[in-house]
A and B are shown apart, each in its own frame.
Chain A
Amino acid sequence: MNIAAFDYLRVLETIPEAVVITDTNPHIVYINPAFEKLTGYKLSELKGKNPRILKSGKTPLRVYQKLYRALTQGKSFTTREVINKRKDGSLYQIDASYVPICQTDKPVFYMQIQHDITEHKKAETELVKRAAQLEAVNRSLQEEYVKEKALLESIGDGVIAMDKEGKIIALNKKTEAIFGWKMQDVLGKSLFTQFKLADEQGKIIPKDLRPIRLALTTAQVGHGIYFLVKKGTRKIPLFITSAPVVLDGRVVGAVNIYRDVSQQVATDRAKDEFLYFASHTLRTPLSAVAWSIERLNEDNTGYSSEQRKFLDRIYDQTQRMIKLTNDLLDATRMEFGILSYKYEEVNPAKIASNVIADLKNRINDKKIKFKLIADKNISAYQTYSNAVYMILHNLLSNAVKFTPAGGTVSLKISKTEKELILQVSDSGVGIPKLAQGRIFQKMYRAQNVKDKFEGSGLGLYITSGIINHMGGKITVKSRRGQGTTFTVMLPFELEVIQSKEKDRMQL
């Protein structure tokens, strides 16, 4: 068969590509069955129609401009940007080739070969969208990673992350510094084999008692001060916190934080040494002097009145020295936050009567009229009993001290819904207006009492410190020469703060 005589149109009837042929007007002269299938139009419906009927309005204008230019020059044109409209109004995107069919170099027909790429295009768009999403996720992960890394590295404490067997999976620079490691040397190794911990006496802590055990086996946070044993160096005190990493209710690992507390431990030791010195070393000779004079005084005969005076003076000054040492101890303990509070159920009236019993001699010596008014409805409750004792002792002994012989001192115990009220009044020398704002300061002593009365200037400082610790308040009302009233308000509900003490106890 001669190929020249072949009926080309019959080929168009069978190919899967949609084909539309227009004349130069342009009017549609032919569509093939694939085109009918693609668009829903029949040849009879489109024949003689302008192909603009197929336009969706979504195709960029420049595409048609390019197409027009190409076709008028007798060139073919291919584009993937044309979006057409079906008979039912739905849109489809085509991969289209426009081919001029020429006779003697002049186009007489134009043939469009269309390939529906809607699905393909959709998939492509989806792909681009996914890629963008992935990119964003990747970027935020990277940011997150950089942030976490920076966070981890900038923490001033050593941080080690471990899996559930205790194998090291991550650590920061500070950890390398504390332990003298290189990260690559310890990654993947068991924490237990890498270093030893000891207690303060140097006794090695067994594996099962290390804080990490608690975290891994009981999913609880373990912490405490331990000493890192390093060859050839001193023991380094570390405050270790070991926290479990829990995922879906299962412990999958732990994170340990190591803080070098050498400085704090040294400070604590200095505090302890000072307190030991003040309480034991300073007070022992004072006790010896006081007791010796007490023995001398047992036999009053044999001393001249002058000698008697000297003896009394030595005794009084020794007592004064003891009182100063006691105040110094209390003030120091309070400032260090290690004044120990005894939390127990107690009736404030009972504490008051103990204080009054302790001051009985001084009250009697000065013939002071003492009044105790206690609200009978106040029952025993949980509080810092020794703190309440110290507050009352300080305020009442001040009141007795600054009240002339024969004067009055009273203590009133009452309550509001939430607070215990202690009111100590005296008929003493009073506090000058200007001094009232300063009497709670450390070592402050008001002008009118400075030279006439002994004192350390620590009593009210300690008292207000204790009241403050209990979340209470103290106020003063006074007029010079007309007595003073201190009012203390102590909340019934205390926040029991013992953490500091606890941490120290773990040493």
Chain B
Amino acid sequence: MSGQTKKVLLIEDEIVLLELLSDKFKDSGFAVTTAQTAEAGIKLALQNHPDLILLDVILPKMDGLTMLKKLRKDEWGKGVPVIILSNLNDQRKVSEAMKIGVYDFLVKSNVKLADVVEEVREVLS
């Protein structure tokens, strides 16, 4: 990667998956912040203005898509690229996410960590 370090925000409630993602992104040269709830995630997003957000759908209280809607109402938040990373790949959820505005909808079990990193690089290049 050239230029300054890119910041990604990972919002994922499964601690094992969050650690795997976080380590992989750090190893790949990103600055990583993490959140395990949507509430904490949106707060971090609006504070830190990351370059990209990786967002899970199923989260403890507020779900990922509700958070996304709130985020899109913010002046900065409406432009930040978001990639959904979820195992709940019901077509209805995918369509809903696409309608609100996301770059992609990835299914965790069907992608490698390397694929996720590659896609993030592609978006940020």
Query: Measuring CB to CB, which residues of chain A are less than 8 angstroms from any residue of chain B?
Result: 275-276, 279-280, 283-284, 286-288, 290-292, 294-295, 322, 325-326, 339-342, 386, 501, 505
Contacts and interface: CB of A to CB of B under 8 A. Distances in A.
24 contacts: A276-B88, A279-B87, A279-B88, A279-B89, A280-B87, A280-B88, A283-B107, A284-B14, A284-B17, A287-B17, A287-B87, A287-B108, A288-B14, A291-B24, A291-B113, A294-B112, A294-B113, A294-B114, A295-B20, A295-B113, A322-B110, A326-B110, A342-B95, A386-B91
Nearest to B27: A298
A342 B94 CA distance: 10
Interface size class of B (residues with CB under 8 A): 20 to 34
Query: Considering residues B88, B95, B112, which has the most beta carbons from chain A within 10 angstroms of its beta carbon?
Result: B88
A340 B88 contact: no
A292 B113 CA distance: 9
B68 to A, nearest CB: 18
Contacts of A283: 87, 107-109
B75 interface: no
B109 A287 contact: yes
A492 B8 CA distance: 44
Given A284-B108, A295-B113, A501-B92, 18 more contacts: A276-B88, A279-B89, A279-B90, A280-B86, A280-B87, A283-B87, A283-B107, A283-B108, A286-B109, A288-B20, A291-B17, A291-B113, A292-B20, A294-B113, A294-B114, A295-B24, A322-B110, A341-B91
Nearest to A281: B87
Contacts of B86: 280
B16 interface: yes
Nearest to B21: A291
Nearest to A358: B110
A295 B88 contact: no
B58 interface: yes
B118 interface: no
Contacts of A276: 88
B91 A340 contact: yes
A505 B17 CA distance: 31
Nearest to B24: A295
Given A283-B108, A284-B14, A322-B109, A291 B87 contact: no
Interface string B63-103: 00000000000000000000000111111100100000000
Contacts of B91: 339-342, 386
A290 B114 CA distance: 12
Nearest to B91: A340
Given A276-B88, A283-B87, A288 B112 contact: no
A228 B58 CA distance: 30
A290 B113 CA distance: 9
A341 B112 CA distance: 26
A141 to B, nearest CB: 52
Contacts of A288: 14, 16-17, 20
Contacts of B112: 290-291, 294
Interface in B14-33: 14, 16-17, 20-21, 23-24
A350 B109 CA distance: 25
A497 to B, nearest CB: 14
**Which 6 A-B residue pairings sit nearest by Cβ, starting from the closest?**
A340-B91, A287-B108, A283-B87, A283-B109, A287-B109, A291-B20
Contacts of B108: 283-284, 287
Contacts of B113: 291, 294-295
A165 to B, nearest CB: 39
A280 B20 contact: no
Contacts of B88: 276, 279-280
B23 A325 contact: no
A219 B38 CA distance: 44
A169 to B, nearest CB: 41
Contacts of A505: 92
B11 to A, nearest CB: 15
Nearest to B86: A280
Contacts of B109: 283, 286-287, 290, 322, 325-326
Query: Considering residues B87, B107, B112, which has the most beta carbons from chain A within 10 angstroms of its beta carbon?
Result: B87
Contacts of A280: 58, 86-88
Nearest to A322: B109
Contacts of A290: 109, 112
